[in-house]
Structure 1
Amino acid sequence: MATQELRAVKDLSVDETSRKKGHNYLTILCDRQAKKVVGVSLGKDQKAVGEALIDMEARGADRTTVRSVTLDMSRSYIAACESYMPQAEMVFDRFHLVKKLNEAIDTIRRAEQKQFKEALKHSRYLWLRNASKLSQKQQQRLDLLKEAFPNLGQAYRLKELFREVFDAAQFTKRLKPLNEWIKMAWDSGIKPIQEFVNMLHDHWYGIKTYFKRLANNAFAEGVNLKIQEIKRIARGYRNPHNFILMIYFKLGGLDLKIH
């Protein structure tokens, strides 16, 4: 059994995927340039990242050449990057940020729905979906709800503007619009939105780098879907290490032939 030797890995992604039902996870490292898996380990803590890096280095790569790492805001993964790759810039995945903002929107909706159950019934999808993906009928209902529930309406507009800031960054790399959004969001006085702003401040070091690198975990998320397909096909792999070998074989350039 042999592997294709890895070239210098410069841009890495760190993500987790479920191995089976329950709290059984794998940590997956992907080379964002080469578009392949370069490290896999059991678990999703700081130690798991270290073990995945050892796998990566066993194939010829060097963690000290990594210049950027895309990841979510997992404390374990952040600590791993700080400990094992201190030279690399962390870039927090923009889609994870949007997910966190959606959670804030949903918190506001649930609070309103406790008082106005019928009016907001079956509306969760409307608040969380991008406006461009709503049907005309859905948009009309949302417009009425935004007028009836000003706090929710304002939070929704902030959410859409947040997405536009990151979309525009793909062309401009300008950080100023995000700073302007942060001031606007804080001035809204809506507590869940202000808590989201505080979270942005706490993780600013990995948010501002997005506007420099324009990197995200999209490839890693695609790998995650492929791993779930491997899991579905390979139900007979009771041994997790055999499952990891299949991931390397399918997605990481592992050669399973006997030499």
Structure 2
Amino acid sequence: QERFTDVRTVGIDETSVRRGQNYITVVHDLDAKRLLFATEGREHKTVLDFVDDLKAHGGDSAKVEHVCMDMSAAYAKGVGLALPQAQISYDRFHVVAMAMDAMDQVRRTEMAQDAPAVREALESAVDNDEHKALKQLMWGMRRNPESWSAKQTDAMHWLQRSVLKSARAWRLKMALRAVYARAKVHNSVQQASVELQAWLSWAFRCRLEPFKKLARSLKERFAAVVRGMLGHRSNAYVEAMNGLLQQAKRAARGFRTSDNFITIAYLRMSKLKHLPASPFAPVGVT
């Protein structure tokens, strides 16, 4: 009974049903902030199934203008087949998460290959326990500066004065976050393109393979990455709803089938307008 006639911008993502390779694909209306569709799996066919369901609910696939998603090749293939007129916007959350992962790879590799040099430098700069200092450094690199503790602030100030590869990796990650933050304010395709291109040039010259790999991925998808910076397009809402779904899964101690998980997803997040009142619900609750 639901009508999807006004769907223009959708967000596609996956969430796990159980440990291992058990996933469902969820598609949200990012304008109306509601779940439209959920199905088992995460291959390109899930996007085709969504379009069939969209049409069955009165929607028009030709009117879907934007699809916000991660860099899944399967989802990109599905959008190309079922929504060829829609523009893909790669979600800022996933791009920054990829930069965070690249930074962690550099830090772990440096600790494994140059551990004595790192520890020697750290001992000369930090008075407290070496192991604790390394832990503060790890969390400080992952957090935003405004959320640093006093000990993390000390560790990060030392890192920024050092010549370690980890310091370069952290600066690259923070610079990409800054590009996204400025794009959210100016909302200009031209300015976002110039700033992203400058970051890519730096990443290609940085001699850090994880960031060079990330730069190659972003360059191949440049236009879609820029679109993900603009118009407040983000899968943040989708990620938040996935978090609520995972909370429901833990509260239920897991769901025996994917169908049960999908049912809970619809009940909690689709903002259904045509559910009959339950005789067991409290007064005012349907």
TM-score, normalised on structure 2?
0.82
The residue identity in structure 1 corresponding to 2:160 is K
Provide the secondary structure at the position in 1 that maps to 2:58.
coil
Go from structure 1 to structure 2 and tell me whether the alpha carbon gap of 1:239 and 1:113 turns closer, same or farther (over 3 Å shift).
Answer: closer
The residue identity in structure 2 corresponding to 1:76 is A
Matched, 1:162 2:176: yes
* Equivalence map 1:1-259=2 (5 Å): 3-114=1-112, 115-116=114-115, 118=119, 119=122, 121-122=134-135, 123-173=137-187, 174-175=191-192, 176-234=194-252, 238-254=256-272, 255-257=274-276
Identity within the alignment, %: 29
Provide the secondary structure at the position in 2 that maps to 1:184.
helix
Distance apart, 1:107 and its partner CA: 1.4
Provide the secondary structure at the position in 2 that maps to 1:15.
strand
Between 1:53-62 and 1:233-242, the stretch displaced more is 233-242
Structure 1 or 2, whichever has the larger Rg, is 2
Instruction: Quote the Cα distance in structure 2 between the aligned partners of 1:194 and 1:48.
Output: 32
Go from structure 1 to structure 2 and tell me whether the alpha carbon gap of 1:240 and 1:84 turns closer, same or farther (over 3 Å shift).
Answer: same
Provide the secondary structure at the position in 1 that maps to 2:134.
coil
Instruction: Quote the Cα distance in structure 1 between the aligned partners of 2:31 and 2:177.
Output: 25
Give the RMSD, CA atoms, in angstroms: 2.1
Instruction: Quote the Cα distance in structure 2 between the aligned partners of 1:239 and 1:195.
Output: 38
Distance apart, 1:41 and its partner CA: 0.6
The residue identity in structure 2 corresponding to 1:252 is S
Go from structure 1 to structure 2 and tell me whether the alpha carbon gap of 1:105 and 1:240 turns closer, same or farther (over 3 Å shift).
Answer: closer
The residue identity in structure 1 corresponding to 2:89 is V
Counterpart position of 2:280:
none
Instruction: Quote the Cα distance in structure 1 between the aligned partners of 2:6 and 2:83.
Output: 14
Distance apart, 1:225 and its partner CA: 1.6
Go from structure 1 to structure 2 and tell me whether the alpha carbon gap of 1:164 and 1:52 turns closer, same or farther (over 3 Å shift).
Answer: same
Distance apart, 1:188 and its partner CA: 2.4
- List per-residue Cα deviations over 1:105-152 (Å, max 9, x = no partner): 111111210121645732322222222221232121122133334322
- List per-residue Cα deviations over 1:137-168 (Å, max 9, x = no partner): 21211221333343221221121121111101
The residue identity in structure 2 corresponding to 1:13 is G
- List per-residue Cα deviations over 1:198-245 (Å, max 9, x = no partner): 111112131121244330101101111222233344458534324323
Counterpart position of 2:282:
none
- List per-residue Cα deviations over 1:90-117 (Å, max 9, x = no partner): 0101111111111111111112101216
Which segments of structure 1 move beyond 6 Å, counting only runs of 4 or more? none
Q: Is the 8 A contact 1:40 1:55 kept in 2?
A: no
Provide the secondary structure at the position in 2 that maps to 1:121.
helix
Distance apart, 1:45 and its partner CA: 0.9
Q: Is the 8 A contact 1:27 1:43 kept in 2?
A: yes
- List per-residue Cα deviations over 1:13-38 (Å, max 9, x = no partner): 00111122322111000000111001
Instruction: Quote the Cα distance in structure 1 between the aligned partners of 2:30 and 2:60.
Output: 15
Q: Where does structure 2 lack aligned partners over 5 or more consecutive residues?
A: 123-132, 278-286
- List per-residue Cα deviations over 1:41-87 (Å, max 9, x = no partner): 11111112222332232222122210001000011111111111111
